[in-house]
Amino acid sequence: MYEYYAKWIREGKLKVNSDWNKDLKVKFTVQDPCQIVRKTFGDPIAEDLRFVVKSVVGEENFIDMVPNRSNNYCCGGGGGFLQSGYKEERLTYGKLKDSQIQTTGATYCIAGCHNCHAQIHELSHHYGGHYNVVHLWTLICLSMGVLGENERTYLGEDLAEVYPPNVYLQK
Pairing of strands 132-135, 108-111: parallel
Are 127 and 93 spatial neighbours (Cβ–Cβ below 8 Å)? Answer: no
Task: Look at residue 170 and tell me if it is in a domain.
Answer: no
Q: What is the pTM of this model?
A: 0.93
pLDDT at res. 11: 97
Domain span at residue 100?
A: 2-160
- Residue 99 sits at φ, ψ, to 5 deg, of -60, -40
The C-alpha atoms of residue 37 and residue 83 are separated, in whole angstroms, by 22
Task: Look at residue 165 and tell me if it is in a domain.
Answer: no
Task: Look at residue 166 and tell me if it is in a domain.
Answer: no
Q: For the chain, how many structural domains are there in total?
A: 1
Write down the mean pLDDT value for the chain: 92
Task: Look at residue 93 and tell me if it is in a domain.
Answer: yes
What CATH code is carried by the domain that includes residue 82? Answer: 3.40.50
For the cut 50, the answer to whether the pLDDT of residue 171 exceeds it is no
Task: Look at residue 129 and tell me if it is in a domain.
Answer: yes
Least trusted range by pLDDT, from 23-27, 31-35, 57-61, 137-141: 31-35
Task: Look at residue 38 and tell me if it is in a domain.
Answer: yes
Task: Look at residue 151 and tell me if it is in a domain.
Answer: yes
Measure the N-to-C terminal CA separation of the chain; round to a whole number of Å. 27
- Residue 160 sits at φ, ψ, to 5 deg, of -60, -30
Task: Look at residue 147 and tell me if it is in a domain.
Answer: yes
Per-residue pLDDT reduced to its tens digit, 67-118: 999 999 999 998 788 888 899 999 999 999 999 999 999 999 999 888 999 9
pLDDT at res. 169: 62
